[in-house]
Structure 1
Amino acid sequence: MTATQASDAPAAEPILELDDLGVVFTTESAEVPAVRGVSLHVRPGETLALVGESGSGKSTVALAAMGLLAGNARATGRAVIDGTDIVGADEAGLAALRGRTVSMVFQEPATALDPLTRIGKQIAEVIRNHNDVSAKDAAARAVGLLRRVGIPEPEKRAAAYPFQLSGGQRQRVVIAMAIANDPALLIADEPTTALDVTVQAEILDLLRRLAAETGTGVLLVTHNMGVVADFADRVAVMYQGRIVETGPVEDVLLRPSHDYTRRLLAAVPRLSVAESDERPTAGEVRPDDGSGSGDATAPVVELRDISVVFGRGKRSVHALDGISLVVSPGETLGLVGESGSGKSTAARVALGLIPPTSGAVSLFGADLARTRSRARRRLRSGIGVVLQDPVASLDARMTVGECVAEPLRVHRRELSARDQRSRVEAVLDRVRLPRDIVRRAPGELSGGQRQRVSLARALVLEPRLLVADEPTSALDVSVQESVLKVITELQDELGFACLFVSHDLAVVQHFARRVAVMRAGRIEEQGPTGETLLHPETDYTRRLLAAVPVPDPVVQRGRRAERLATLAAGRMEAEA
């Protein structure tokens, strides 16, 4: 039962109540306030979405509610869960609450799960921590929880290790652990950010069903406004540590009262689901000026009938199965599909990092299979790469200046140290970062700043091809908008081609000129972005588009009902 459905019934007492909550972090130089005077509540069976930019304080609020703040943090005010004030509570009292009364679903299941312990044993441990049951009974309940969250072959999966499951399955395992003891409150911190749209829709359906069955209250921390429209009853908007607006989801998303909320919503890329003549303006095909090396008239990169097989015999996996792609000078090709569809593998083949089992790869007009190591190195110097996680791709031991200059040291050894510094400063100007940032470490920067550093490093050699693999999926909407705007402006200035790998179809629709839809190692369809995404030819592309949540609660309710009806019809047809 949602809060909307219960509007005529007497309001239940909140399961979570924050009253004038404040959090201050003590650093070497000063005390930094992260949360200021936050007051909100979550009632049984309702979902409150907490939204805002990175650094707004939303995750700090969630951690404070769990009593999981860092040692240098000090909380003030009240954070009451089921009658217990978390602020000032001792560790024994908190341990009794966590996992039983309140549980948390984290953004990255890979870090939430022990890689060396089997799935069933991890769930059983959570059960036994709060219940006097035998190991055998806990193991049986663990299998039942896996079945409840939709894991296929739960007995078999219980014996598996986390690395043997897909990303969506791992997130379902984390949810199974979170609901193992029927908590009254579930705190979900960006639970779908790293998931493709179909898995995201399944996870939201699962959380919605569990909340309805058990009356669990949900505090959802997210930057995805489509998820908010799809899942939340109420919304609280945070800005610089404060709540600036709160209300029912339709009021906040459709009739925002605060200027910051309006700006936040304006930054959301919206998937066009109606017939339209509009076409994306970013990534237009531009004539090559012939200034680069190689054949200027040839495609920047071309994959011809590429297959990639990992392993041998019965254990072999066909990651790619006869795909063909072309990226022309100056254009952006969006590569979309579910996790495991082969998108990233195709990008790595284009980079020359994975040799194809069969087929041919052409880079700047040269056949990669026939180029020797020195020539191949010269070809690769014409490629820039931006990855999803700048924390992992930037060396924490280097300064920003050293990270950006690294490609110059590898591929432009003839440049003096002074010339390298000059190029680093110039590319930092291009990505709108201050030059004095060169002396800082990556860990001292925000997520958006780190991604701009990654972009600067990718472009410091002025490449002819930029390969961007999920470059904005971990960024909030306003930072995502600014990063994509920088890429677009630099593409206009430098004329590089872009292979843009993403599971965010709304971003691809606005950013890419052409799109290729992948499924199970094959290309389902490809063509101009507007035609392919507005008038898809295959059922798979239509299902992919139907799973994308839009930031309009009214429209999204209809889309969700239509998607669920289509899935139900498909199941009935399969059973028949």
Structure 2
Amino acid sequence: MRADAGAILRIDELTVSFRTDSGEVPAVRGVSFELAAGEALALVGESGSGKSTVALAALGLLGGTARVSGSIAIGDIAVVGAGERELQRVRGKLASMVFQEPATALDPLMRVGDQIAEVIRNHDDVSAAEAQARAVELLGHVGLPEPASRVRSFPFQLSGGQRQRVVIAMAIANRPKLLIADEPTTALDVTVQAEILDLLRRLAAENDMGVLLVTHNMGVVADFADRVAVMTDGRLVEEGPVDEVLLRPQHEYTRALLSAVPRLSVAERPAAAGAAGAAGPAAPAAPARERYVEASGVSVSFGRGVRAVHALRDVSLDVAAGETVGLVGESGSGKSTIARAVLGLIEPDSGSVRVFGEELRRARGRRLRQLRAGIGVVLQDPVASLDARLSVAECIAEPLLVHARGLGRAERRRRVAEALEAVRLPAAFMDRAPRELSGGQRQRVSLARALVLSPRLLVADEPTSALDVSVQRTVLDVITELQRELGFACIFVSHDLAVVQEFAQRVVVMRAGAVVETGPTAVTLSHPETEYTRRLLAAVPVPDPVVQRGRRLAAAGGAA
């Protein structure tokens, strides 16, 4: 089970297919590349390109339905054909993995310190007390505050960024020479994402550790990678230094991928351009339009007494017909809470929320249902928001069954077909199950369901954060076209400032439950008035490695 010494990871002519009821499905086709110690290689491509399959194959984690050929070597250990006992010695010791969603990677019933200690004791003959001491040390090493007390926390007591730091602590517990990170920052806001990338960069340098980064975020690639390998349809189509691939792409697919990336224009300018006090252009006067949402002085808290969490503090927000307002801020800033208050899912402690001119808390029964029928909702995760037991047609028809009970089955199917056509999906998809669709197709089904009643207001909560850049572009283009045709207002919750810049006419910046800045998007993002907004903008990575290195050096100089 030995391979030639050399690179920390060597993959040669890797081919992977999966056995299914309908036959053999190819996933990876003849992929070859190497990763040296201390190097960061980004593996990029759309969903279904095979990049995550390559990452899982590297650790022998594909499962019994996979058929693997070619060779994979980690150090001098050959992975393909190795037994489970041999692989267990590789995993966690010589190589480790950081998964996209830390909530599913951690045991919710175990304290985080115990989970780290378990990883240590699986590969090292130490006492429980020594393993716990090393767990505290590791939590401090990955930048978790108060590690001695946090070691006793359960995962649900930590934020998303803190949970990801715990997962990284587990991954580096035995000082591996290879770290595979599969979309480690996708669900994180930009400031936490920047902290996690800085952490991975530091750990790789300190331990001479090779990092294989699987991602669809080209800004993250520009910020972190030394080399880039581009995959599509299971094949490697381009590979090279990050500056060459991102700035001078050779393959048509790479160029198309990069052209779909939303770019935050202010982030690609010299730092001085966005300095405090800069005079921005005057915003054009907008014509008066009916206000579909009027939230005034809204405060929301969860819990009571000293343990109460103040999610919103005196927040005011208005959205006019045909307007898109972007809500941005870090996790916990309150942007999703105000969206839920507008939907009537949370009753404020104080303040008022008026939708279509009526106070939500005063509406009851039939009138409340009528108001809610005018609101469509698109959530972040289309997998969780669509019932796996229903067909696509049944998922889209759910609002019709609740709010248009007099419609017959034939009329419902006609409306469903129209909704699918509106989101650029064929009517033939009606009888498919959600699991048979790609991520972008599922999100368009969610959009069709949200629009099937022709609502006047669309609330979109992180609708594109988990999507590839090209799929994200398609979904945003569809929403833009439909808004132009139907004239609905939109509350767009996002941590992606580049998307908000392209999509929203106004932006509301939130922090710790309060609005810290608001105004026309172009003015607010180009000439922010508050230090917090400037910090958010500085944390956004751009898909230009030269510009990104300059921004990182400028940020490091400012911190010093």
The TM-score by the shorter chain falls in which range? over 0.9
1:470 aligns with 2:462: yes
C-alpha distance in 1, partners of 2:505/2:281?
12
Q: Is the 8 A contact 1:280 1:510 kept in 2?
A: no
Q: Which residue of 2 aligns with 1:6?
A: none
Equivalent residues in 2 for 1:372-383 (5 A)? Answer: 372-383=364-375
Which of 195, 214, 226 is 1:233 aligned to? Answer: 226
1:60-96 superposed Cα distances (whole Å, 9 cap, x missing partner): 0000001000221111000100111111110000001
Aligned letter for 2:50? G
Which of 49, 53, 56 is 1:56 aligned to? Answer: 49
1:16 aligns with 2:12: no
Aligned to 1:114, the other structure's residue is in SS state coil
Shift of 1:279: 11
Distance 1:347 1:198, change over 3 A: same
Q: Is the 8 A contact 1:399 1:442 kept in 2?
A: yes
1:217-242 superposed Cα distances (whole Å, 9 cap, x missing partner): 00000000000000000000001100
C-alpha distance in 2, partners of 1:133/1:105?
24
Q: Which residue of 2 aligns with 1:74?
A: 67
Aligned letter for 1:250? D
1:503 aligns with 2:495: yes
Q: Which residue of 2 aligns with 1:259?
A: 252
Equivalent residues in 2 for 1:378-417 (5 A)? Answer: 378-417=370-409
Q: Which residue of 1 aligns with 2:326?
A: 334
1:362 aligns with 2:354: yes
1:147 aligns with 2:140: yes
Aligned to 1:13, the other structure's residue is in SS state coil
Which of 116, 126, 130 is 1:133 aligned to? Answer: 126
Which of 458, 478, 485 is 1:493 aligned to? Answer: 485
Shift of 1:286: 8.3
Aligned to 1:326, the other structure's residue is in SS state strand
Equivalent residues in 2 for 1:74-473 (5 A)? Answer: 74-273=67-266, 274=269, 298-473=290-465
Shift of 1:373: 2.5
Q: Is the 8 A contact 2:283 2:520 kept in 1?
A: no
C-alpha distance in 1, partners of 2:474/2:550?
31
Q: Is the 8 A contact 1:286 1:329 kept in 2?
A: no
Q: Which residue of 2 aligns with 1:292?
A: none
Shift of 1:255: 0.3
Q: Is the 8 A contact 1:334 1:515 kept in 2?
A: yes
User: TM-score, normalized by length of structure 2?
Assistant: 0.96
Aligned to 1:124, the other structure's residue is in SS state helix
Percent of aligned pairs with the same amino acid: 70
Which of 544, 549, 557 is 2:541 aligned to? Answer: 549
Shift of 1:13: 2.6
C-alpha distance in 1, partners of 2:497/2:553?
20
C-alpha distance in 2, partners of 1:381/1:286?
27
Aligned letter for 1:465? L
Aligned to 2:265, the other structure's residue is in SS state coil
Aligned to 1:192, the other structure's residue is in SS state coil
Aligned to 1:300, the other structure's residue is in SS state strand
C-alpha distance in 1, partners of 2:413/2:356?
28
C-alpha distance in 1, partners of 2:35/2:117?
28
Shift of 1:261: 0.3
Distance 1:278 1:471, change over 3 A: farther
Q: Is the 8 A contact 2:6 2:75 kept in 1?
A: no
C-alpha distance in 1, partners of 2:552/2:495?
19
Q: Is the 8 A contact 1:146 1:154 kept in 2?
A: yes
Q: Which residue of 2 aligns with 1:534?
A: 526
Distance 1:279 1:114, change over 3 A: farther
1:550-575 superposed Cα distances (whole Å, 9 cap, x missing partner): 0000000011122223334xxxxxxx
Aligned letter for 1:46? E
User: TM-score, normalized by length of structure 1?
Assistant: 0.93
Q: Is the 8 A contact 1:300 1:365 kept in 2?
A: yes
Aligned letter for 1:562? A
Q: Which residue of 2 aligns with 1:9?
A: none
1:285-316 superposed Cα distances (whole Å, 9 cap, x missing partner): 788xxxxxxxxx64111110100011111101
Aligned to 2:483, the other structure's residue is in SS state helix
Q: Is the 8 A contact 2:219 2:541 kept in 1?
A: yes
Gapped runs of 5+ residues in structure 1?
1-11, 288-296, 569-576
Aligned letter for 1:391? V
Distance 1:189 1:280, change over 3 A: farther
Q: Which residue of 2 aligns with 1:44?
A: 37
Query: What is the CA RMSD across the aligned residues, in angstroms?
Result: 1.6
Shift of 1:278: 9.9
Aligned to 1:346, the other structure's residue is in SS state helix
Q: Is the 8 A contact 2:283 2:523 kept in 1?
A: no
C-alpha distance in 1, partners of 2:390/2:352?
37
Distance 1:512 1:280, change over 3 A: farther
Figure out how many residues of one structure are paired with residues of the other and give that number: 546
C-alpha distance in 1, partners of 2:110/2:494?
31
